[in-house]
Structure 1
Amino acid sequence: MYFSPLEQFTIISLIPFHLGNFYFSFTNSALFFLLSTGAFLFLCSLVFVKGGTLVPTPWQSVVEMIYEFVVSLVSEQIGKKGVKYFPFVFTLFTFLLLSNLIGMIPYSFTTTSHFVITFTLSFCVFIAMTLIGFQTHGLHFFSFLLPPGAPLALAPGLVVIELVSYCFRGISLGVRLFANMMAGHTLVKILSGFAWSMLSLSGVLKAAAAIPFLVVFALMFLEVGVACLQAYVFTILTCIYLNDAIHLH
């Protein structure tokens, strides 16, 4: 039983392990990391081990739908040059989607509700996009700091603004995902606790407990939608940043 809406985000050590002053314990966060990764690998194995069929099975339809969705996302946002980055985008989307959805299961753990996790993901994406930009354009990549046609008198201010804006990409991706997942789970927990407290009362208040329960039920469907939407937003922004790095838009 959780006594605070924020206790559901507590990191719990499952297998303690210390090496000197370093702490490498296997936690609930690491466990659900593995579950998120293993869940989709298991789903894919149901399709590819036996081979696809002309009339797709339900599992095959799910995998094909996700695959086609990411393919269209990459082709629309990046173009032909983004084909070689498809495995990365596909892995990122499926991991975020399953991490968010698994977190909706009662008494599970949402890895994407911790800023250290989402920031690490967004920072890695930011570093990767920067390296791809330099690999593709060399030092000419710095030209994105000065919009074409801008007056030279405004160049110092524009360069600083564009540089700060570019650097904040590595933060905004993680903050957006973390804030939405944590806020949604906290709200569901608060309303659930309120409805449970009303059930312990008597008379009219006990009957009125059905109202917050209905709200929680509706909110759960909304949170599932948010979980899918946030995985999509993180992925499409990654594709947009990748497109900027390749084409200098």
Structure 2
Amino acid sequence: MLSNPIEQFNIVSLIPLNLIGFKYNISLTNSSLFMLITCFSVLIIACGAISFKKVFPNHWQVFVEYIYDFLFMSLVTEINGKKGRLFFPLIFTLFLFISIGNLVGMVPFSFTFTSHIVITLGLSLSFFIGLIIYGIYLHGFHFISLFIPKGVPVVLLPLLFVIEFISYVSRGFSLAIRLFANMMAGHALVKILAGFAYVMLGLGGIFPLFEFIPILIITAIYVLELGVAVLQAYVFSVLICIYLNDSLYLH
């Protein structure tokens, strides 16, 4: 792994499982294992705060209530209004799932499942397609007005409709690529710098004296990656709320 920083993203089968004569592979992989760990972590964090609620809350309950209040007031209600509050449990769970998954992936020798495009693309497209279906359910055929800018001349209408439609569809893909690229690039950079520090240590001579330089850089980038892990979860949730706003209000 010192020679190839991309090897840390390999999906490895931990418990091989096959159905119907090896036709369907449902093996437990490192990716699915850490997704399960993330799901249980979300349950522990959320249910733990609810189970031990007090008039004078402890630090655990205050922390969860702060996240709850921040997402409810500063994100869902501010962007989507009262209509969007119906989707708050979904946004709250989504934020916790991505942020905890990213933070768990920062633990040494763990696995970051959000560093795979197939995971982030499946997550983004499932939300994106669901919001389109909900928008059609609310507005019917009038949902198509989302792709027609107001005050456009009839001559330019077909061209602008195609441009707006392509721009709208690309949201689902850009949402996935943003999360995948940030997590993969950050982990690869940390691995490259760690390998560089290891090589300097093995060279001997005066090189070990300068080993603290890449170590300091690694520490700084690692702290930055912790912030990026939470920030990317917030950005993902914000964009989902913006797309939900389009489905609710058609603007």
- Conserved 8 A contact 1:114-1:178: yes
Corresponding letter in the other structure for 1:61: V
- Could you report, residue by residue, the CA deviation over 1:15-48 in whole angstroms, capped at 9, with x for unpaired residues? 1011221111011111100111101211223322
How many residues end up aligned between the 2 structures? Answer: 248
2:237 corresponds in structure 1 to 235
Deviates more, 1:9-18 or 1:41-50: 41-50
Distance in 2 (alpha carbons) for counterparts of 1:181 and 1:238: 19
2:5 corresponds in structure 1 to 5
Task: Indicate whether 1:69 and 2:70 are aligned.
Answer: yes
1:203 to 195, 202, 205: 205
Q: Cα 1:225–1:102, aligned 2, differ >3 Å: closer, same or farther?
A: same
Deviation >6 Å, runs of 4+: none
- Conserved 8 A contact 1:32-1:109: yes
Corresponding letter in the other structure for 1:186: A
Deviation at 1:65, TM superposition (A): 1.3
Distance in 2 (alpha carbons) for counterparts of 1:3 and 1:144: 50
| TM-score of the pair, normalised by structure 2 | 0.96
Partner SS state of residue 6, structure 1: helix
Sequence identity (%): 51
Corresponding letter in the other structure for 1:138: G
- Residue correspondence of structure 1 range 104-119 to structure 2 within 5 A: 104-119=106-121
Deviation at 1:49, TM superposition (A): 2.1
Corresponding letter in the other structure for 2:218: V
Partner SS state of residue 99, structure 2: helix
Deviation at 1:2, TM superposition (A): 5.2
- Could you report, residue by residue, the CA deviation over 1:191-212 in whole angstroms, capped at 9, with x for unpaired residues? 0110111111222211011100
- Conserved 8 A contact 2:120-2:176: yes
Corresponding letter in the other structure for 1:145: F
- Could you report, residue by residue, the CA deviation over 1:100-121 in whole angstroms, capped at 9, with x for unpaired residues? 1111101100010000000001
Deviation at 1:169, TM superposition (A): 1.0
Distance in 1 (alpha carbons) for counterparts of 2:91 and 2:47: 20
Task: Indicate whether 1:29 and 2:3 are aligned.
Answer: no
| TM-score of the pair, normalised by structure 1 | 0.97
Task: Indicate whether 1:120 and 2:133 are aligned.
Answer: no
Corresponding letter in the other structure for 1:67: Y
- Conserved 8 A contact 1:115-1:178: yes
2:97 corresponds in structure 1 to 95
- Conserved 8 A contact 1:2-1:8: no
Query: Which ranges in structure 1 are unaligned for 5 or more consecutive residues?
Result: none
Distance in 2 (alpha carbons) for counterparts of 1:46 and 1:242: 29
Q: RMSD over aligned Cα, in angstroms? A: 1.1
Query: Which ranges in structure 2 are unaligned for 5 or more consecutive residues?
Result: none
Partner SS state of residue 14, structure 1: strand
Distance in 2 (alpha carbons) for counterparts of 1:140 and 1:2: 56
Partner SS state of residue 232, structure 1: helix
Task: Indicate whether 1:55 and 2:52 are aligned.
Answer: no
Partner SS state of residue 62, structure 1: helix
